[in-house]
């Protein structure tokens, strides 16, 4: 389903007291995190998509940093995807997403912390340029996750039953990896044989209902990246039919 | 009380099952965080100080990253000061250090997150060099905290009763600020009139028993920085009489 990103010149939406709003951008992996967590916590919310290349004046007035994701909740504007995820988990009781064992929760948070290496390598590849060094940097950052999941011996990083916080917070980048080889060709294809356990996890995640709800194809992400890199104003609204 | 930092060539301590060990360095602000949290949680632990300029081989075998702080607990080596702090708070019930209100906890964590601006500016000043731009960068990062504490209207960032997580996690840098003007003179003195509320908070923190226990003077930190910058092997053990 296509989504409309509100841009400069748009009218400020009418925010209803008691409703929860998520300011998002359909292709942003950080905002993607917030969608997944809100859905996994079964929180009813209204997404408002923002055109990040031509931000609405009303959004900058509401949130001078102008970033996504941000959640408007009880008059407060909450941002920073990781802090937001923990806040939502604390505030809404349904489906706790952290392990109740402190040591397990610590190890999950360490994965999320170290995941910065993956996001940095990915960004350089997808939004800047392909070169074999950048690509190897991404693969090395994924080696750590493969090893970690093997050592855990569980279906998800969070356990065997279902994805937990750690799974949802790292997922958005995995959904986008296929776009890299669509843009750059087979030299940028992540080799499944180097990551057999992570590949299985990837398939399990694709079947998670919350993941499915927001899923976009590699081709759609690829189209977004290409339009975005060439500053095409269609990068936001002309990708999803 | 002087402390001895174990260096290259030192003998591996005999770790007793069931005991908790904190690998630390007496002048490291990140390790300082771990001392404060362990004490505030009333956890009995044994500090082991590491000479970071000549790390013991046994420490690198135990923890290849070779960083401090790290805690050895039930056979696990836990590092990363912020994750460690949350782990200790989750694992040990006494004196909970996070607000029970999710929105308050979120705002405290946002301060800790944004505090990276202070630590970066401080590091450039203390460990690299003084220049007015670096110094102003530090003051601007502190303006945010002054404003935040004024808007909270409480004695501590965590409330009126006592310091909470956020207070302890940012304190180590405040303890070190006086060292900057000892090293560089009055041009590097943080002006109290620009930060009246933060200055009051600073005095309250200095009187906290856990802060007192680890307190070092600006002159001691200044001596450490100067010896460290000139690669003097006395930087670790010859500072505190």
Shortest Cα–Cα distance, B222 to chain A (Å): 32
H helix or E strand, kind and range, residue B182: helix B165-184
Q: B91 vs A103: CB contact, 8 Å cut-off? A: yes
Average pLDDT, rounded, for chain A: 96
Q: Are B134 and B124 in contact (CB under 8 A)?
A: yes
Residue B43 has pLDDT above 90, yes or no: yes
Using an 8 Å CB-CB cutoff, list chain B residues near A93: none
H helix or E strand, kind and range, residue A23: strand A21-24
What was the pLDDT predicted at A57?
98
Give the model confidence (pLDDT) of A29-84 as tens digits: 999 999 999 999 999 999 999 999 999 999 999 999 999 999 999 999 999 999 99
Give the model confidence (pLDDT) of A191-213 as tens digits: 999 999 999 999 999 999 999 99
Q: A90 vs B102: CB contact, 8 Å cut-off? A: yes
Q: Are B47 and B94 in contact (CB under 8 A)?
A: no
What was the pLDDT predicted at A233?
87
> Cα separations (Å) of A153 from A147, A150, A157, A200?
10, 5, 9, 12
- Least CB–CB distance from A106: residue in B83, B109, B110: B83
Q: A105 vs B87: CB contact, 8 Å cut-off? A: yes
What was the pLDDT predicted at B73?
97
- Selected for mutation to probe chain A from B69, B74, B78, B90 (highest A CB count within 10 Å) is B90
Shortest Cα–Cα distance, B79 to chain A (Å): 9
Q: What is the mean pLDDT of residues A127-143?
A: 93
What was the pLDDT predicted at A128?
82
Q: B86 vs A74: CB contact, 8 Å cut-off? A: no
- Least CB–CB distance from A83: residue in B74, B86, B110: B110
Nearest CA in chain B to A76: B103
Alpha-carbon B2 to chain mean position: 18
Nearest CA in chain A to B98: A90
Q: How many CA atoms lie within 13 A of A236 on its CB side?
A: 17
Q: What is the mean pLDDT of residues A141-152?
A: 98
Sequence-separated (6 or more) residues with CB below 8 Å from residue B240: B1, B2, B3, B26, B216, B220
Residue B136 has pLDDT above 90, yes or no: yes
pLDDT band at B76 (very low <50, low <70, confident <90, very high): very high
pLDDT band at A2 (very low <50, low <70, confident <90, very high): confident
Using an 8 Å CB-CB cutoff, list chain B residues near A105: 87, 90
What was the pLDDT predicted at B191?
96
Give the model confidence (pLDDT) of B25-40 as tens digits: 999 999 999 999 999 9
Q: B76 vs A103: CB contact, 8 Å cut-off? A: yes
Q: Return the CA Rg of chain B.
A: 18
Q: How many CA atoms lie within 13 A of A44 on its CB side?
A: 2
> What percent of chain A clears pLDDT 70, i.e. is strictly above it?
100
Q: Domains of chain A (ranges plus CATH)?
A: 5-96 (3.40.30.10), 102-229 (1.20.1050.10)
pLDDT band at B193 (very low <50, low <70, confident <90, very high): very high
In B137-226, the DSSP E strands lie at none
Give Dmax (Cα) for chain A: 52
Nearest CA in chain A to B91: A102
What was the pLDDT predicted at B215?
98
Give the model confidence (pLDDT) of B109-119 as tens digits: 999 999 999 99
Catalytic residue among B7, B28, B188, B222: B28
Residue A241 has pLDDT above 90, yes or no: no
What was the pLDDT predicted at A49?
98
What was the pLDDT predicted at A153?
98
> What percent of chain B clears pLDDT 70, i.e. is strictly above it?
100
Using an 8 Å CB-CB cutoff, list chain A residues near B103: 74, 76, 87, 91
Sequence-separated (6 or more) residues with CB below 8 Å from residue A116: none
In the block, tokens 């905290």 appear at B145
Cα end-to-end distance, chain A, whole Å: 6
Q: A87 vs B105: CB contact, 8 Å cut-off? A: yes
Angle between helices A196-206 and A132-152 (to 10 degrees): 80
Give the model confidence (pLDDT) of A81-116 as tens digits: 999 999 999 999 999 999 999 999 999 999 999 999
Residues from B contacting A (CB-CB < 8 Å) are 74, 76, 78, 80, 83-84, 86-87, 90-91, 102-103, 105-106, 109-110, 113
Taking the CB of residue A50, how many other CB atoms lie within 10 A of it? 27
Q: Which residues is B78 bridged to in the sheet?
A: B71
What was the pLDDT predicted at B232?
92
Instruction: Mean pLDDT check: name the lowest of A74-78, A82-86, A225-229, B90-94.
Output: A225-229
Sign of CA dihedral A1, A28, A237, A58: positive
Residue A179 has pLDDT above 90, yes or no: yes
**Could you give the angle at the alpha carbon of A137 between the alpha carbons of B118 and A204, nearest 5°?**
100
Using an 8 Å CB-CB cutoff, list chain A residues near B105: 87, 90
Nearest CA in chain B to A73: B103
* Strand order, beta sheet including A21-24: A46-49, A21-24, A70-73, A76-79
Q: B106 vs A86: CB contact, 8 Å cut-off? A: yes
- Least CB–CB distance from A113: residue in B83, B110, B113: B83
State how far the Cα of B216 lies from the Cα of B200, in Å rounded to an integer. Answer: 19
What was the pLDDT predicted at A138?
97
Nearest CA in chain A to B92: A102
Residue A1 has pLDDT above 80, yes or no: no
State how far the Cα of A15 lies from the Cα of B3, in Å rounded to an integer. Answer: 59
Shortest Cα–Cα distance, B229 to chain A (Å): 30
Does this model's pTM top 0.90? My answer is yes
Active site residues of A: 28
pLDDT band at B129 (very low <50, low <70, confident <90, very high): confident
């Amino acid at each position: 389903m296509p989504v409309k990103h509100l841009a400069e010149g748009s009218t400020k939406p009418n925010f209803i007291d008691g409703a929860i709003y998520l300011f998002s951008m359909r292709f942003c992996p950080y905002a993607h995190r917030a969608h997944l967590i809100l859905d996994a916590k079964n929180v009813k919310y209204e997404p408002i998509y923002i055109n990040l290349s031509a931000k609405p004046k009303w959004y900058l007035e509401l949130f001078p940093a102008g970033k996504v994701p941000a959640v408007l909740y009880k008059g407060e504007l909450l941002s920073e995807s990781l802090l937001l995820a923990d806040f939502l988990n604390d505030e809404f009781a349904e489906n706790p997403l952290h392990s109740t064992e402190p040591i397990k929760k610590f190890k999950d948070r360490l994965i999320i912390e170290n995941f910065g290496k993956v996001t940095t390598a990915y960004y350089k590849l997808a939004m800047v340029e392909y070169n074999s060094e950048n690509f190897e940097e991404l693969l090395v950052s994924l080696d750590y996750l493969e090893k970690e999941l093997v050592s855990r011996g569980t279906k998800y990083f969070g356990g065997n039953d279902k994805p937990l916080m750690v799974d949802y917070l790292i997922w958005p980048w995995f959904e986008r990896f296929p776009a890299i080889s669509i843009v750059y060709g087979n030299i940028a294809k992540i080799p499944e044989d180097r990551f057999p356990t992570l590949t299985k996890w990837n398939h399990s995640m694709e079947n998670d209902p919350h993941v499915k709800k927001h899923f976009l194809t590699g081709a759609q992400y690829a189209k977004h990246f290409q339009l975005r890199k060439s500053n095409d104003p269609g990068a936001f609204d002309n990708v999803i039919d």
